[in-house]
Amino acid sequence: MDCSTPFAPRGDKKSVEEGLEFAPKFDQDGLIPALAMDASTKEPLMLAYMNAESLRRTLEIGEAVYWSRSRQEFWHKGATSGHTQKIVEIRTDCDQDALILLVDQAGAGACHTGRSSCFYRKVEAPGAGKSAQLVPIGGEKTFDPGQVYGKP
Amino acid sequence: MDCSTPFAPRGDKKSVEEGLEFAPKFDQDGLIPALAMDASTKEPLMLAYMNAESLRRTLEIGEAVYWSRSRQEFWHKGATSGHTQKIVEIRTDCDQDALILLVDQAGAGACHTGRSSCFYRKVEAPGAGKSAQLVPIGGEKTFDPGQVYGKP
């Protein structure tokens, strides 16, 4: 194993699928998708990405640390807003190229728009030749992002 | 709008986040991640990817149609195994670059390894200098993939 990360090298298909060594697969940009869910309600909160180092830090400190693709920097969720995500459980899938984070979400919400979840709209299937529309689903704002992030 | 897909063009940040037009963002490979969850239990089942056409087909037929990155072809989930995923609800997130599928999973399970969910292992945080290990979480096989897929 590479001593700089706590992950195993990728083995063959059988060892990845049936083994108990954690050998996450990062994509061509070095990232793995991580879907955060509320550990109590199982509501999906947000989908973000981690690189190897942010995943290592997440395991180390027990709070979600993502890699911000837009800012190209580590993103300790809640460092600015106080809305940290305490890790209750991390799951990986059969081919170990995706993560589920079951978290205790601190503060009013996970979404930078001021809502508890980023998934506050559902897709309405379109009629023939029509375009698909979104419908709000209980996504009332639970905090004022201007106040929390200090931006208008 | 492009008449070949039922999606709106991407607008500015405000319209993407607060608007009700569905304008999904596909990545440089033309894909958007889609996390399927059991609509009743909210258990995460699998994470896969869709391109615009597979998303259009999903909306059209009401069953999950992914894009297989490994096979580079459309993947109507359950076409081989019978384990289709009937769409109950599709959610998108604030920046419309991720999808949640709430599904009725037909048959014994979502995972090609023979389990109900692909997320059948959790990650154990490693001790200092140690490598991270996986722990099975109720992922007993619910079907025989050899029988279902006709391969040993």
pLDDT digits (tens, 9 = 90+) for B35-61: 999 999 999 999 999 999 999 999 999
pLDDT band at B4 (very low <50, low <70, confident <90, very high): low
CA A48 to chain CA centroid, Å, is 4
pLDDT per residue as tens digits for the range B11-41: 999 999 999 999 999 999 999 999 999 999 9
Distance CA A128, CA B33 (A): 25
pTM over 0.90: yes
For the residues A108-117, what does the mean pLDDT come to? 92
For the residues A54-69, what does the mean pLDDT come to? 97
Q: What pLDDT is stored for residue A22 in this prediction?
A: 97
- Token pair in block for residue A7: 């992950």
8 A C-beta contact, residue A34 and residue A26 = no
pLDDT band at A76 (very low <50, low <70, confident <90, very high): very high
Strands A99-105 and A32-38: parallel
Comparing CB atoms, the residue among B42, B94, B126 nearest residue A6 is: B126
pLDDT band at A114 (very low <50, low <70, confident <90, very high): very high
3-state secondary structure of A106: coil
Phi/psi at A51 (5° precision): -100, 180
pLDDT per residue as tens digits for the range B76-90: 999 988 999 999 999
Q: What pLDDT is stored for residue B151 in this prediction?
A: 61
In A, minimum Cα distance to B17 occurs at A113
Instruction: Give yes or no for residue A127 having a pLDDT over 90.
Output: no
Distance CA A87, CA B62 (A): 34
Q: How far is B75 from chain A (nearest CA, A)?
A: 17
Query: Given an 8 Å threshold on Cβ–Cβ distance, is A135 in contact with B94?
Result: no
Nearest Cα neighbor of B78 from B100, B63, B59, B60 is: B63
Nearest Cα neighbor of A49 from A25, A32, A63 is: A32
DSSP B105: E
Taking one residue from A and the other from B, the number of pairs with CB-CB distance under 8 angstroms is 147
> HSE of A130 in the Cβ direction (CA atoms, 13 Å)?
11
Which residues in B lie closer than 8 A to residue A42 (C-beta atoms)?
Answer: 37, 41-43
% of chain B beyond a pLDDT of 90: 78
pLDDT band at A148 (very low <50, low <70, confident <90, very high): confident
Beta carbons within 8 Å of B108's beta carbon, 6+ residues apart: B83, B114, B116, B142, B143, B148
Strands B99-105 and B32-38: parallel
Q: How far is B7 from chain A (nearest CA, A)?
A: 6
Distance CA B8, CA A24 (A): 35
3-state secondary structure of B37: strand
Comparing CB atoms, the residue among B41, B46, B134 nearest residue A21 is: B134
Instruction: Give yes or no for residue A88 having a pLDDT over 60.
Output: yes
8 A C-beta contact, residue A55 and residue A62 = no
Nearest Cα neighbor of B110 from A94, A122, A43, A27 is: A94
- Token pair in block for residue A59: 């395991």
Q: For residue A60, what is the enclosing H or E element?
A: helix A52-61
Phi/psi at B89 (5° precision): -160, 145
**Taking the alpha carbons of B5, A111, A46, B128 in that order, is the dihedral positive or negative?**
positive
Beta carbons within 8 Å of A101's beta carbon, 6+ residues apart: A34, A35, A36, A37, A58, A64, A85, A87, A89, A90
Letter for the amino acid at B64? A
